[in-house]
Amino acid sequence: MLTALGLGAVIGVLLGLLGGGGSILAVPALVYGAGLPLASAIPVSLLVVGISAATAVLPRIRARQVRWRIAAVVGGAGAAAAFAGAALGRLLPPQAVLIGFAALMVVAGWRMLAEQTAVGGACALPGGGVNWRSCLPKAVVAGAAVGVLTGLFGVGGGFLIIPALVLGLGLPMTAAVGTSLLIVVVNAAASFAAHAGDAALDYGVIASFTAAAVAGSLAAARLGRRLPAVRLRRWFAYLVFAVAVFVAVQALVNPAALST
């Protein structure tokens, strides 16, 4: 229980400092820190992702920074695809899932290091909004891809959703972040439902980890505004790379530990 509290607080602080992305460390923390089997760690991670995103999206809804129609299209496609991702996870051995997760962490770290200065795209209309006639398929494909990853790995996927919304659909960054958070909530809820019954869940660990994560996120949010965002994201990307190497090595050297 104390381990779950400590790890949840660390994940929450990272979420608060970075405004997202910290939840990608939840599954490795639960597997290798709290000793949960992968089948239990994924739904617990989804709860942390979903509740943290819901907490963060509420003030953005009040500030009208959420594009509801885009969230419905992308989130709806993702929610449906999340069940496919969960089904795929049941077919794969835990070792393969963790190695794939390590590869996804490398992509996430690279996205955090990449400069994101371009805004707009072929889907953006001159007066704002989205040209749905030509870009509906792109939005559905992007949502489905993120949904599969959420269902398979238990991650929010904001590091992929935001570039798709900004570069593909032409949303300004403030609207992209708010809309992405709502999409993450929808995907996480669907993915958690898809994983229901996969493994016995210790709700004491879930409550401790999630409460500590939310508390840590809220406590660190104010501090995050005073620290250099670019430097924070750079160092966090390096941490993600290091954890990705650790996860891959552990999955290759000690695969039996993933199901115990």
Contact assessment for residue 38 and residue 258, using Cβ atoms and an 8 Å cutoff: yes
Tell me what pLDDT residue 210 has.
Answer: 81
Tokens of 163: 């570039």
Q: Which domain holds residue 181?
A: 2-259
**Distance, first Cα to last Cα, the chain:** 18
Q: What is the mean pLDDT of residues 224-238?
A: 73
User: Which one has a higher pLDDT value, 94 or 222?
Assistant: 94
- Model confidence at 186, pLDDT cuts 50, 70, 90, reads very high
Separation of alpha carbons 143 and 184, rounded Å: 10
Tell me what pLDDT residue 41 has.
Answer: 86
Tokens of 16: 């608060």
Tokens of 20: 């997202």
Contact assessment for residue 97 and residue 152, using Cβ atoms and an 8 Å cutoff: yes
Q: Does residue 227 have a pLDDT over 70?
A: no
Separation of alpha carbons 179 and 166, rounded Å: 11
- Ramachandran region of residue 35, left (φ > 0), alpha (ψ -120 to 50) or beta? left
The residue count of the chain comes to 260
The structure's pTM equals 0.81
State the total domains in the chain. 1
Tell me what pLDDT residue 87 has.
Answer: 93
pLDDT single digits (tens) 147-179: 999 999 988 777 778 878 877 777 777 788 888
For the range 161-166, what are the long-range contacts, defined as Cβ-Cβ under 8 Å and sequence gap of 24 or more? Answer: 161/74, 163/111, 163/116, 164/74, 165/70, 165/74, 166/116, 166/118, 166/119, 166/120, 166/121
- Model confidence at 20, pLDDT cuts 50, 70, 90, reads low
Q: Does residue 2 have a pLDDT over 80?
A: no
Tell me what pLDDT residue 103 has.
Answer: 92
Q: What is the mean pLDDT of residues 97-114?
A: 87
Separation of alpha carbons 71 and 216, rounded Å: 27
Residue bearing tokens 């935001």: 162
Q: What is the mean pLDDT of residues 237-254?
A: 88
User: Which one has a higher pLDDT value, 204 or 249?
Assistant: 249
Q: What SS3 string covers 109-159? A: HHHHHCCCCCCCCCCECCCCCECHHHHHHHHHHHHHHHHHHHHHHCCCCHH
Name the average pLDDT for the chain: 81
- Model confidence at 76, pLDDT cuts 50, 70, 90, reads very high
- Model confidence at 257, pLDDT cuts 50, 70, 90, reads low
Tokens of 196: 């229901």
